[in-house]
C-alpha cells in the first residue's frame, strides 16, 4: 500500500493542496512506498505566516526554558531510536547501524544547543567612559529556513534546527523529497517535547517551494546542503534578497598516504570512509593518494582484498556492509562514471557494477568500485561521483600529493595518514581545505566545533554547528548607556561625536 505523506504546519499534519506529488521509493526493492506532496508558493507563504506568529511567543521563552524543550526532545528521540533508524533506512538505503549514526550525530548538535544560556551571553564593559557602560546582547533573527539533502535525512536537519530553535527563532524545514518521513516524525517529537505549535514546521517540495522561501522577505536566513550548483544558486538568490545564507556544496575528499603509514590500518580506514553509506556522504573519501610506487602498489593490493569481501544487500540485514543507493538515477550515474574512467584510461581494479543481489533484481544496488591510475586531468577526478567509488591517484612525492587537494576546485575535507608529526603539522598548515584529518579519514568535527568546507564546497562566512551557528542565527545589539547623576558634570549640548575620554 502506498502511503500519502503530508506537511507539518502549526503543530499538526496538513495535507498538500497543490495537486503535485513526488515518489518516495524503497531503495531495497525499487518500489514506490509513499507519495509526498510538493508545496505551492501559496502553501509556503501560509507556513511562513504561521511561523512568524509562533516565533514571537517562542522568543519570549527564556534560554533555559528553550534548553529544557531540547533536552526532552533528545530523550524522546533516543526512546524511538530503533524505529526512527528503520524508517530512515527504508527510504534512504543506509544500513541500520549507519542510520542510527545519522540520528546520533544530529542529536549531538541538539545537545550542544542545550547550552544556549551560556552561548547567548553577550559582552559587558563597565566604565567605558565616565559614567558610561557598554554591553551587547544576542537576539533571534525571526523566521529561518533549512533546505536539506537526502543523504543525511536526520543529521543535517537537526544541525540546522537545533541552534536556530535554541536561539529563539522559528524554523521551517524543507527536507529532501526523497526521504522526508524522519523529519516529519521529528516535528511530532518536538511538539511532544513542549515546543509551541508553529515553531518547527516541515514543508515538502521542490524548486517552487525553495524559491518561495528564498524570495519571502519574512525569511531572515537560509541554510542549505547539497550540490555545488544549487548551493551557489541559493546563496546568491538569498543574499540578493537580503537574507543570511549558509550553503554547502559538493566535495572531492582526498586521503594522502605517506610511505611511513600503517597500510593495513589505512586500508581498513579507507574502506569504511569510501564505501560506508554507499559513498553517499559529503565527507566520504573518494580519492586516495599514495606517495611513492611501493606505497601505491601495496595499498592497492590491500584495498582490493578488502573490497572483494564487502557484503552488498538490503539495508535491514545485519550482515550487510553496503546497502542500496537512494535512486535508480544514482545507480546509472555511478555506473556511467565507471565507464568514463575506463574510457579515459584508468584501471578498474574492482568493478562494482551489475551486482547480483540474491532474490532482488529491482533494488537500487551497485557494489564497491576501486579505480587505479587516475590522473588529475581526468573527468572522474575533477567531478563529484557521490557513490561507492574510490580512486587511486599516485603521487611521486609529498609536494605533489599536497598539491592535489590544494588545487582541486572542491575544499571540503582531506586526510593524511603518517606517523611523522612534522609532516602532519606541515600538511595541516598548508593544505587549502576546510577540514583536515590526521590519521582520521572522515574529519567531521564534534558538535561544539564548526563544520564547513572551502572553495566550491562552501558559500557564506559562517559554518554549521558550533559557535558559528549561534552567530548565524542571532543578531547582535550593542547598548551604550549612562544614567543622569552618574558622575557626568556640567552637562551641556555637544556638537562633536561622543568619545570615551
Residues labelled as active-site residues: 282
How many helices and strands, by DSSP H and E, does the chain display? 16, 23
Give the helix ranges, DSSP H, for 32-154.
41-58, 63-79, 81-92, 96-113, 116-119
Angle formed by the axes of helices 207-215 and 41-58, nearest 10°: 50
CA distance 243 to 14: 27
Beta pairing, strands 31-37 & 7-9? unpaired
Contact 249, 226 (CB under 8 A): yes
Contact 417, 258 (CB under 8 A): yes
Q: Where are the beta strands (DSSP E) in 294-412?
A: 347-350, 369-372, 389-392, 410-411
Contact 165, 63 (CB under 8 A): no
**Closest to 98 in 3D by CA, of 289, 340, 324, 396:** 324
The enclosing H or E element of 272 equals helix 263-275
Q: How many CB atoms lie within 10 A of CB 317?
A: 12
- Sequence-separated (6 or more) residues with CB below 8 Å from residue 213: 44, 48, 145, 147, 172, 174, 219, 222
Tell me 334's DSSP state. Answer: H
Residue position matching grid coordinates 551486482:
355
CA distance 346 to 358: 30
Amino acid at each position: 500500500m502506498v502511503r500519502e505523506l503530508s506537511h507539518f504546519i502549526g503543530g499538526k499534519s496538513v495535507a498538500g493542496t497543490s495537486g503535485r506529488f513526488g515518489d518516495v521509493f524503497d531503495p531495497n526493492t525499487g518500489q514506490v512506498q509513499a507519495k509526498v506532496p510538493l508545496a505551492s508558493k501559496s502553501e509556503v507563504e501560509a507556513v511562513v505566516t504561521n511561523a512568524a506568529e509562533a516565533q514571537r511567543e517562542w522568543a519570549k521563552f527564556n534560554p533555559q526554558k528553550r534548553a529544557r524543550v531540547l533536552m526532552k526532545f533528545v530523550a524522546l528521540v533516543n526512546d524511538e531510536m530503533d524505529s526512527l533508524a528503520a524508517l530512515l533506512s527504508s527510504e534512504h538505503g543506509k544500513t541500520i547501524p549507519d542510520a542510527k549514526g545519522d540520528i546520533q550525530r544530529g542529536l549531538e548538535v541538539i545537545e550542544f544547543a542545550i547550552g544556549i544560556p551560556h552561548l547567548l551571553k553577550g559582552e559587558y564593559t563597565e566604565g567605558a567612559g565616565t559614567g558610561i557602560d557598554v554591553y551587547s546582547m544576542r537576539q533571534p533573527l525571526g523566521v529561518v529556513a533549512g533546505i536539506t539533502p537526502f543523504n543525511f535525512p536526520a543529521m543535517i536537519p537537526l544541525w540546522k534546527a537545533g541552534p536556530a530553535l535554541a536561539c529563539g527563532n522559528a524554523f521551517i524545514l524543507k527536507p529532501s523529497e526523497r526521504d522526508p518521513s524522519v523529519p516529519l516524525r521529528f516535528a511530532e517529537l518536538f511538539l511532544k517535547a513542549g515546543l509551541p505549535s508553529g515553531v518547527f514546521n516541515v514543508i515538502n517540495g521542490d524548486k517552487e517551494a525553495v524559491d518561495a522561501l528564498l524570495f519571502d522577505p519574512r525569511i531572515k536566513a537560509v541554510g542549505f546542503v547539497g550540490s555545488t550548483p544549487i548551493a551557489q544558486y541559493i546563496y546568491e538568490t538569498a543574499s540578493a534578497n537580503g537574507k543570511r545564507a549558509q550553503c554547502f556544496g559538493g566535495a572531492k575528499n582526498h586521503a594522502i598516504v605517506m610511505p611511513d603509514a600503517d597500510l593495513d590500518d589505512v586500508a581498513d580506514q579507507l574502506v569504511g570512509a569510501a564505501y560506508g553509506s554507499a559513498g553517499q556522504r559529503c565527507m566520504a573519501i573518494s580519492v586516495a593518494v599514495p606517495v611513492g610506487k611501493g606505497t601505491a602498489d601495496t595499498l592497492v593490493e590491500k584495498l582490493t582484498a578488502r573490497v572483494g569481501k564487502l557484503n552488498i544487500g538490503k539495508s535491514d540485514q545485519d550482515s550487510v556492509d553496503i546497502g542500496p543507493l537512494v535512486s535508480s538515477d544514482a545507480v546509472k550515474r555511478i555506473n556511467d562514471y565507471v565507464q568514463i574512467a575506463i574510457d579515459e584510461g584508468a584501471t578498474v581494479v574492482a568493478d562494482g557494477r551489475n551486482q547480483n543481489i540474491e532474490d532482488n533484481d529491482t533494488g537500487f544496488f551497485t557494489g564497491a568500485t576501486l579505480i587505479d591510475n587516475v590522473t588529475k586531468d581526468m573527468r572522474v577526478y575533477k567531478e563529484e561521483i557521490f557513490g561507492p567509488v574510490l580512486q587511486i591517484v599516485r603521487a611521486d612525492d609529498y609536494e605533489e600529493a599536497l598539491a592535489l587537494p590544494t588545487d582541486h576546485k572542491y575544499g571540503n575535507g582531506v586526510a593524511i595518514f603518517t606517523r611523522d608529526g612534522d609532516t602532519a603539522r606541515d600538511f595541516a598548515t598548508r593544505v587549502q581545505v576546510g577540514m583536515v584529518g590526521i590519521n582520521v579519514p572522515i574529519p567531521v568535527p564534534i558538535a561544539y566545533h564548526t563544520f564547513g568546507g572551502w572553495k566550491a564546497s562552501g558559500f557564506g562566512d559562517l559554518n554549521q554547528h558550533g559557535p558559528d551557528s549561534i552567530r548565524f542565527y542571532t543578531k547582535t545589539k550593542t547598548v551604550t548607556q549612562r544614567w543622569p547623576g552618574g558622575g557626568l558634570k556640567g552637562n551641556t549640548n555637544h556638537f562633536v561625536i561622543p568619545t570615551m575620554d
